Amino acid sequence: MAQPRPKPMEEQFEEEVILITEEGKRALEAELKRLLEKERKEVLEHIRESRKVGEFLEDTDYDDAKKEQAFIQGRIEELQQILKIVKVVPKSKIPTNKVGFGSVVELTNLTTGRQVTYRIVGPFEANPLEGKISYQSPLGEALLDKRVGDIVEVRAPAGVTKYRVEKISR
Protein backbone atom coordinates (compact mmCIF):
# COMPACT_ATOMS: atom_id res chain seq x y z
CA MET A 1 0.00 0.00 0.00
CA ALA A 2 1.42 3.39 -1.00
CA GLN A 3 2.14 5.86 1.76
CA PRO A 4 0.14 9.08 1.37
CA ARG A 5 2.18 12.15 0.47
CA PRO A 6 2.34 14.51 3.48
CA LYS A 7 0.28 17.67 3.11
CA PRO A 8 1.41 21.25 3.75
CA MET A 9 1.01 22.31 7.39
CA GLU A 10 -1.93 24.63 6.62
CA GLU A 11 -3.85 21.75 5.08
CA GLN A 12 -2.94 19.47 7.97
CA PHE A 13 -4.48 21.85 10.48
CA GLU A 14 -7.61 22.06 8.33
CA GLU A 15 -7.79 18.26 8.33
CA GLU A 16 -6.73 18.19 11.98
CA VAL A 17 -3.96 15.65 11.32
CA ILE A 18 -0.23 16.20 11.65
CA LEU A 19 2.12 13.38 10.69
CA ILE A 20 4.80 12.62 13.24
CA THR A 21 7.31 9.87 13.90
CA GLU A 22 7.15 7.72 17.03
CA GLU A 23 10.30 9.44 18.34
CA GLY A 24 8.83 12.86 17.59
CA LYS A 25 5.70 12.14 19.58
CA ARG A 26 7.73 10.86 22.51
CA ALA A 27 9.84 14.04 22.44
CA LEU A 28 6.75 16.27 22.46
CA GLU A 29 5.26 14.25 25.32
CA ALA A 30 8.51 14.53 27.29
CA GLU A 31 8.63 18.29 26.75
CA LEU A 32 5.02 18.62 27.91
CA LYS A 33 5.72 16.52 31.00
CA ARG A 34 8.79 18.62 31.84
CA LEU A 35 6.84 21.86 31.45
CA LEU A 36 3.94 20.61 33.57
CA GLU A 37 5.86 18.86 36.31
CA LYS A 38 8.98 20.98 36.62
CA GLU A 39 9.15 24.32 34.84
CA ARG A 40 5.62 25.52 35.62
CA LYS A 41 6.12 24.74 39.32
CA GLU A 42 9.49 26.47 39.34
CA VAL A 43 8.14 29.64 37.77
CA LEU A 44 5.21 29.72 40.21
CA GLU A 45 7.68 29.51 43.08
CA HIS A 46 9.74 32.27 41.47
CA ILE A 47 6.61 34.44 41.24
CA ARG A 48 5.83 33.84 44.93
CA GLU A 49 9.39 34.77 45.94
CA SER A 50 9.45 37.80 43.64
CA ARG A 51 6.16 39.00 45.08
CA LYS A 52 7.63 38.93 48.61
CA VAL A 53 10.78 40.78 47.58
CA GLY A 54 8.85 43.05 45.22
CA GLU A 55 7.20 44.85 48.11
CA PHE A 56 10.55 46.50 48.76
CA LEU A 57 12.17 46.60 45.31
CA GLU A 58 11.16 47.25 41.74
CA ASP A 59 8.88 44.62 40.25
CA THR A 60 11.12 43.71 37.27
CA ASP A 61 11.89 40.26 38.66
CA TYR A 62 8.19 39.66 39.24
CA ASP A 63 7.33 40.95 35.75
CA ASP A 64 9.98 38.69 34.19
CA ALA A 65 8.62 35.70 36.09
CA LYS A 66 5.06 36.48 34.93
CA LYS A 67 6.27 36.70 31.31
CA GLU A 68 8.04 33.37 31.70
CA GLN A 69 4.87 31.87 33.18
CA ALA A 70 2.84 33.10 30.20
CA PHE A 71 5.39 31.64 27.78
CA ILE A 72 5.39 28.27 29.54
CA GLN A 73 1.60 28.16 29.69
CA GLY A 74 1.38 29.05 26.00
CA ARG A 75 3.79 26.26 25.10
CA ILE A 76 1.87 23.78 27.28
CA GLU A 77 -1.37 24.65 25.48
CA GLU A 78 0.34 24.43 22.08
CA LEU A 79 1.79 21.00 22.87
CA GLN A 80 -1.54 19.74 24.19
CA GLN A 81 -3.24 20.85 20.97
CA ILE A 82 -0.54 19.31 18.77
CA LEU A 83 -0.69 16.00 20.64
CA LYS A 84 -4.46 15.84 20.15
CA ILE A 85 -4.14 15.93 16.38
CA VAL A 86 -0.93 14.04 15.59
CA LYS A 87 -0.96 10.81 13.67
CA VAL A 88 2.05 8.62 14.34
CA VAL A 89 3.51 6.94 11.28
CA PRO A 90 4.76 3.60 12.61
CA LYS A 91 8.28 2.59 11.64
CA SER A 92 6.84 -0.41 9.79
CA LYS A 93 4.98 1.96 7.43
CA ILE A 94 8.08 3.98 6.51
CA PRO A 95 9.02 3.12 2.93
CA THR A 96 12.49 1.93 1.97
CA ASN A 97 11.97 1.63 -1.80
CA LYS A 98 11.37 5.38 -2.16
CA VAL A 99 11.69 8.46 0.03
CA GLY A 100 8.65 9.09 2.20
CA PHE A 101 7.73 10.45 5.59
CA GLY A 102 10.10 9.03 8.19
CA SER A 103 12.68 7.77 5.68
CA VAL A 104 16.38 8.08 6.42
CA VAL A 105 18.06 9.25 3.23
CA GLU A 106 21.77 9.18 2.47
CA LEU A 107 22.70 11.74 -0.17
CA THR A 108 25.76 12.88 -2.06
CA ASN A 109 26.10 16.57 -2.85
CA LEU A 110 27.16 16.36 -6.49
CA THR A 111 29.00 19.70 -6.36
CA THR A 112 31.11 19.06 -3.26
CA GLY A 113 31.09 15.26 -3.11
CA ARG A 114 30.09 15.54 0.55
CA GLN A 115 27.74 12.89 1.89
CA VAL A 116 24.89 13.78 4.24
CA THR A 117 22.14 11.81 5.92
CA TYR A 118 18.70 13.16 6.79
CA ARG A 119 15.49 11.77 8.25
CA ILE A 120 12.34 13.19 6.63
CA VAL A 121 10.07 14.36 9.45
CA GLY A 122 7.19 16.71 10.14
CA PRO A 123 7.56 20.42 10.81
CA PHE A 124 7.43 20.02 14.61
CA GLU A 125 10.33 17.57 14.61
CA ALA A 126 12.62 19.28 12.12
CA ASN A 127 16.13 20.08 13.34
CA PRO A 128 18.73 20.13 10.55
CA LEU A 129 21.57 20.13 13.11
CA GLU A 130 20.30 16.70 14.23
CA GLY A 131 19.85 15.50 10.64
CA LYS A 132 16.06 15.90 10.67
CA ILE A 133 14.48 17.90 7.86
CA SER A 134 10.84 18.69 7.29
CA TYR A 135 9.08 17.31 4.25
CA GLN A 136 8.05 20.95 3.76
CA SER A 137 11.65 22.18 3.42
CA PRO A 138 12.97 22.67 -0.11
CA LEU A 139 15.21 19.59 0.15
CA GLY A 140 12.60 17.48 1.94
CA GLU A 141 9.96 18.32 -0.64
CA ALA A 142 12.34 17.60 -3.52
CA LEU A 143 13.23 14.19 -2.05
CA LEU A 144 9.69 12.84 -1.58
CA ASP A 145 8.98 9.84 -3.82
CA LYS A 146 12.58 9.68 -5.11
CA ARG A 147 14.44 6.38 -5.36
CA VAL A 148 18.06 5.28 -5.00
CA GLY A 149 20.08 6.73 -7.87
CA ASP A 150 17.68 9.62 -8.51
CA ILE A 151 19.11 13.12 -8.67
CA VAL A 152 17.27 16.03 -7.10
CA GLU A 153 17.82 19.73 -7.64
CA VAL A 154 17.19 22.09 -4.76
CA ARG A 155 16.85 25.80 -5.35
CA ALA A 156 18.03 28.02 -2.52
CA PRO A 157 19.01 31.68 -2.26
CA ALA A 158 22.65 30.65 -2.79
CA GLY A 159 21.78 28.81 -6.00
CA VAL A 160 20.90 25.32 -7.17
CA THR A 161 22.37 22.26 -5.46
CA LYS A 162 22.14 18.76 -6.88
CA TYR A 163 22.02 15.63 -4.72
CA ARG A 164 22.05 11.95 -5.63
CA VAL A 165 20.04 9.56 -3.46
CA GLU A 166 22.47 6.85 -2.31
CA LYS A 167 20.44 4.89 0.23
CA ILE A 168 16.95 4.87 1.77
CA SER A 169 16.22 3.19 5.08
CA ARG A 170 14.03 3.40 8.18
Using an 8 Å Cβ cutoff, are 50 and 61 in contact?
A: yes
Q: Is the dihedral of CA 113, 114, 117, 121 positive or negative?
A: negative
Residue pair 3/93 in contact (Cβ under 8 Å)? The answer is yes
Q: Which domain holds residue 114?
A: 91-169
Higher pLDDT, 54 or 20: 20
**Distance between CA atoms of 65 and 4, rounded to whole angstroms?**
45
Nearest residue to 85 via CA among 163, 145, 19: 19
**What share of the chain has pLDDT > 90, as a percent?**
67
CB atoms within 10 A of CB 22: 13
Mean pLDDT over 135-159 rounds to 93
The reply to whether 130 and 164 lie within a common domain is yes
Claim to verify: residue 105 and residue 43 sit in the same structural domain: no
Q: How many domains does the chain have?
A: 2
- 99, 129: one domain: yes
List, for residues 4-38, the tens digit of each pLDDT value: 565 555 554 455 788 899 999 999 999 999 999 99
Q: In what order do the strands lie in the sheet with 151-156?
A: 132-134, 115-121, 104-109, 159-169, 151-156
Same domain, 69 and 111: no
Specify whether 115 is located in the same domain as 82. no
Q: How far apart are CA 132 and CA 148, in angstroms?
A: 19
Query: pLDDT at position 46, please?
Result: 86
